[in-house]
Structure 1
Amino acid sequence: MITTTSPDLRLGSGRLALLVAEREITTRLRSKSFLISTGILLLLVLGGIIFGSITAATAEDTRVAVTDSALLDGIEGIEAVPVDTVDEAEQLVRDGEVEAAVVADDSTDLGVRIIADTDPPLTLLALLSETPPVELLDPDAIPGGLAYLVAFGFGIVFFTAAMTFGPTIAQSVVEEKQTRVVEILLAAVPTRVLFTGKVVGTAVLAFGQIALIAAMAIVGLTVTGQDELLVGLGAAVVWFVVFFIVGFVMLAAMFAATGAMVSRQEDIGATTTPVTMLVMLPYFAVIFFNDNPLVVTIMSYVPFSAPVAMPLRLFLGTAEWWEPLLSLGILAVSTVALIAIGVRIYENSLLRLGARVSWREALSRP
């Protein structure tokens, strides 16, 4: 708790804000639920990387029964299971020991016949087919699947941080109102300084957690030999960090302000739902339309989706050098404006106990 020892002891606003931020950080770090959830999140990240590595390393060849091994010579991706007769090959297919069987048959034009159980063996047919030469007009383009994974990765990191720490700061504000601790805090700290300290403290916690996740991902990908993706991400990750910092401060300010509008934990959802929607809708829009250049371009300039959409465009190589600067400028201006609005809501609502403060009252000039 922040206290003053004498009327003559006056700390600067910056120092007081840091004290409030320190209080927020230490309180959260002492929470077992926060530490456990962070540990689980790190384990999930590491587990996902290991699972991906194991899955890629253990991809099995297609098992095929064959009466003459020479029929499949030189074809990669097939594990030939030699048999002596066609009947034996058919029995292996029925038992599920092999996906299909390739047997010699002089009555066909190709001299072979494929035996399968209930469905045509598409994987085997693809391996046996002769593929004509393929000319790629844009060989350096990012594959659609990889683009989706990158969009999902950026999106889930920003979304998880926002939905983890955003409601946390709102709950902290309401808890202080319920217990009347806020009245003691305001005796020593101006309202705006208290607001700033809470936002800064929560932001530091979010950045710290994201840094741990990034470190875990880097180590995991490097150890499992999947570090090629890290090289490809490069500048996109750096820009994501910058956008994340500015964007998260904006969201933290909004959650703190809307949390101050209620006096009970049960009522938090009534005021924070609009902010939650502003996080969720752009997130899903970027994920679902990651392969639509027009939508992603528009979303890269919308403040609530820019932290995901613009780094994605940089990874895909579809953004000009000046576009991330313009997008970041729009995000920064929006953040400053929303912080100003958040401060007004916070000041008008913090000491009002009982019924929920209306938006009109919260936004009115003091």
Structure 2
Amino acid sequence: MRRLVGVLATATLATTLLSSCSSSDESDGAPDDTVTADAPSTSAPTTGSSGSSGSSGSSESATPTYAGPPKVVGEIATGLAAPWGVAFLPNGNAIVTERDTTKVLEIKGPEHSVDTVGVLSDAVGLGDQGGEAGLLGVAVSPDFASDHLLYFYFSTDHDNRIVKARLAHDRLGPITPILTGIPNGFIHDGGRLAFGPDGYLYASTGETGNSALAQDKSSLGGKILRITTDGKPAPGNPFPGSPIWSYGHRNVQGLAFDDDGRLWASEFGEHTWDELNLIQKGHNYGWPTVEGRGDVAGLTNPKVVWDTETNSPSGLAYLDGHLWLGALAGERLWRVTVDGTTASDPKGYFIGRYGRIRTVVAAPDGRLWVTTSNRDGRGTPRAGDDRILLVRP
């Protein structure tokens, strides 16, 4: 039996772990500046009105300024199946991955037509069994105009891997694996991809429910990786010959760079604390020694922590001085104010209105695309699910 299916024996353990969200700490001489997000009482729900259709509006300013709370102003797409990764092409079209169907979609033009450009048949999804594996993150090459390359993170029957493929004439070409052997499991498969301002590809991995992997620098599980476009360890990585950029992670689900090039990451905790971390080269974020913040020498504290019932953080985007974080179990969109290395004032919006929120990305027009994840085996699908919401920040 395939390894991924074999790990169904851990399903009982997984049930305990699924609702969780966090892991990390710091005691490097820096002051403890971690913010604790209060429970729903301080997360003033704002129910945005959803229109029947929406446009990413190329006529709008690329950096519009909005007053007031965020508002859902339309729907980009409906009837999707657990959309997981979203990335924009230079022409404004978007590439979307569906975790369990392993389809690669392209959402085109102001009409937001949805076309299937490929199916990654090597990917194995476990959504129908409540698992987390499948076709996960996507990133667009910084040189897409000339190389037409897309990068994907997906699960096979024996590993997680990063591959690249050329998109041409509305079809995805053959895939080329660039990094294989990332541990996989029924849960905690990581999967987020993002190109940094340095031109290197950053990838989040999970520890597959085996917490010891997070501290094991000989394993790629429970890490954030930094690699070249050919899958090699990027120059300047902290551990010679290794793709590891940071370690001690439980399951990072969101990566976002701010305007100053700092990398932020959202991370599932276990029973107590979910985290927002500021990622620094070579730092140890503490899992499983610490969940949330602590005072352990050599471990780096999160910048914000949430109780796991109001978060279960997934996708992360940076836009105009704020980080926007999707919550699965918490069924809300969090906004966190960023000032340099400080993150503060977390506020939750749309609480319970759209169900599980998976991915958040900043669109070229200065608005947000936000995906639901109610057809992922853990949500309660509603009419039209899953959908991509257009949010005015």
The answer to whether TM tops 0.5 is: no
TM-score, structure 2 normalization: 0.20
Compare the two structures and name the one with the higher strand fraction.
2
- Larger Cα Rg: Structure 1 or Structure 2? 1
